[in-house]
Amino acid sequence: MKTIVNKITVFAATLGILVAGCSDKDLAVQPRQSISSETALTSVSSVDAAVIGVYATLKSRVLYGRDFMLYGDVMADNAVATNKSGRLVGEGRNNNGAHYANWGTAYSAINDCNLVLAAIPKISAASATQRDRWEGEMRFIRALLYHDLMRAYAYAPTFIVNASNRGGVVLRSTAVDNKDTAAAFRPARASIAECYNFIINDLTIASTRLATSARAGAPHFATRAACQALLARVQLYNGDWTAARTAATNALTGGVGTLSTAANHVAGWRASTNPESIFEVRFAIAAESLGVNEALQTSCTSMGAIGSPLTNGGWGDCVPNLFALNALGISGVPSSLSISNAIALPALTRSTDVRNQLYEWGGQRTNPRFMECTKYFGKSGFLNTDNVPVIRHAEVLLIRAEASFRLNDEAAALNDINTLRVNRGLAPVTLSGNAILEEILNQRVAELTMEGHRFHDMKRLGRDIVKDPSVGFVLAITDFRVLAPIPNGELVGNPNMQQNVGY
């Protein structure tokens, strides 16, 4: 009997030790792919990694991976969706809800910017140059993201449909870093003016910070020139012509990129980094590709190699229409825009404009063939992997021309227009009055098609969008579909938030 009692005692003691030995601490398991948010932004290397993390978000499809390069064309009057994969068809018809959807991604990146901005003063090990660089980069990207949010969800100050104006977007300059703050947050939209002031302020400070501190690797990183170029664009939308002209001049003389010439323009588009870029989002390796369905290359062309229509590359979902081809000096394309494989290609005539060499008949394997844009062609060395020129010299030159025109400095405007024309293989023109503005807009189509600008040009100028005949209607610029719908979840339970009209 005694042995039994002993055995039970030993057994119970063993159990007791096991139980006592398992404390709360033993139950903690730490991840190995992630680090704790409490200590994440406390060193120079981790803050720098967080800055890189923000740059990386610009590659996403809803930002510069695709949408901000193509929606501005397919939703406007210079491009159509081919319905080869079915993508971009809704946007091409301006269907209800088929619009930019950068809200969530942009605000996530904006919060990442704010987190870094809040962390900078605490990194005592960082040099003054490093701090300036981080702050300048974060303010530049934040301004870029905010301006794109404004382009999608709000009117530009130069043309506001008052009846449909629900203001700008939500301004955030402080970081959210815990769930309680996040759960309690009930944001409201700031006014359009407040938003533009916020963006201009960011770019002004960023320009100062980056004056001497910018990291090597332009145009793939923020520089003072990039800040000024973006500022020129923002002021163009804002209608502050003097500021736009000043910023444009600063950008053009900022030492990042140069205007290409008629002789090297096409080659510039074949290089992995476009020599005209003032800011460019880099896609360096194949793993960064958005793939065969959504990358810029597959969206723009069905070919696998330039001049090789039998190699099946991608879809070719978005192509220029006759309006754009006409601006580029290409004629002879039938009004249906397409040619069956079975039919011999019609003879095309091309003007001396070198830019039209970036357009050719697309692949035969997804019949029929369209005139496709070859600006994006796996230039990083891998299929469907291209650096994305966000802002480049030609655009800034045209911004300055437009600002000069608005300031009644027609000579300066014409000078900039002709600088561009000559460098694109065209003869200079002599114009006056509104014809100058029309020529600027014509050059913008020829220069920037498939770079996402036309829709915004129409919107900021308040012009109706005469869709391609194959789509067959005119989108009045007062139509509710001009603005994107704010994600429905943003409105649920938040009385401060206002949806755009019509959604």
Nearest approach, Cβ of residue 433 and another protein (Å): 34
Binding flag, residue 29, another protein (CB under 8 A): yes
Binding flag, residue 112, another protein (CB under 8 A): yes
- Out of 221, 237, 323, 455, point to the residue binding another protein (CB under 8 A): 221
Binding flag, residue 187, another protein (CB under 8 A): yes
Handedness of CA 257, 296, 468, 157 (dihedral sign): negative
List the Cα angle 255/150/372 in 5-degree steps: 70
Alpha helices by DSSP H, 127-223:
128-153, 179-184, 192-213
- Out of 139, 220, 375, 459, point to the residue binding another protein (CB under 8 A): 220
Site for another protein in 47-106 (CB under 8 A): 49-57, 59, 81, 83-86, 89-90, 92-98, 103-104
Binding flag, residue 288, another protein (CB under 8 A): yes
What is the Cα gyration radius of the chain?
Answer: 27
Site for another protein in 366-385 (CB under 8 A): 366-368, 383
Q: Name the residue nearer to another protein (CB basis): 56 or 461.
A: 56
Binding flag, residue 31, another protein (CB under 8 A): yes
Site for another protein in 314-343 (CB under 8 A): 335-336, 338-343
Distances (CA, A) of 313 to 213, 316, 384, 450, 463: 41, 9, 9, 18, 36
CB atoms within 10 A of CB 324: 25
CB 88 within 8 A of CB 317: yes
- Out of 20, 24, 349, 430, point to the residue binding another protein (CB under 8 A): 24
Stretch of 107-115, 136-144, 256-264, 406-414 lying at the interface with another protein (CB under 8 A) = 107-115
Site for another protein in 390-449 (CB under 8 A): none
- Out of 43, 158, 161, 177, point to the residue binding another protein (CB under 8 A): 177
Binding flag, residue 3, another protein (CB under 8 A): no
CB 420 within 8 A of CB 394: yes
Site for another protein in 471-490 (CB under 8 A): 472-473, 485, 487-490
Binding flag, residue 254, another protein (CB under 8 A): no
Query: To which H or E segment does residue 11 belong?
Result: helix 2-21
CA-nearest of 314, 313, 315, 333 to 323 is 333
Alpha helices by DSSP H, 241-370:
241-252, 265-270, 291-294, 296-300, 322-327
Q: Tell me, rounded to whole angstroms, the distance of Cα 101 from its chain centroid.
A: 12
Binding flag, residue 11, another protein (CB under 8 A): yes
